[in-house]
Amino acid sequence: MEDPAAWKKVFIDFSRLDENGLAGPQSGKVALNYEFCIPAEEQKWRTVQRIDPSAQVQKGSRGRSGCEKESWLVIGSTYQKNYKRVIYELASLPYVARIQETFFE
């Protein structure tokens, strides 16, 4: 059974995405990237990797999420199978406080 509290940590507009996790016009669809912080611990990073194969860690970067010094920034992509379930599973982790869309500038 899903815990609705997990979804309260997710700040992504899913209405913009199709069933493949892509947004935009038919001629130029793109995936959305999202970010979150995790404690700077290898075991927690391995757990995230098992849940989200698209995840990449950015050690030392604060990101828009404002990761603290003892945290790592993680970036994932909606372009993957069952992307909503992946995001839910990540949000269910007790050490993930917020998942939000990220923008590369």
pLDDT at 2: 83
Rg of the chain in Å (alpha carbons): 13
- Of the pLDDT bands very low, low, confident and very high (cuts 50, 70, 90), residue 105 is low
pLDDT at 13: 93
CA distances from 16 to 19, 20, 29, 67 (A): 10, 11, 11, 26
pLDDT-above-70 percentage for the chain: 98
**pTM for the model:** 0.92
Give the span between the Cα atoms of 34 and 99, in whole angstroms. 7
- pLDDT tens across 42-93, in order? 999 999 999 999 999 999 888 888 899 999 999 999 999 999 999 999 999 9
Report yes or no: 45 and 38 within 8 Å, Cβ to Cβ: yes
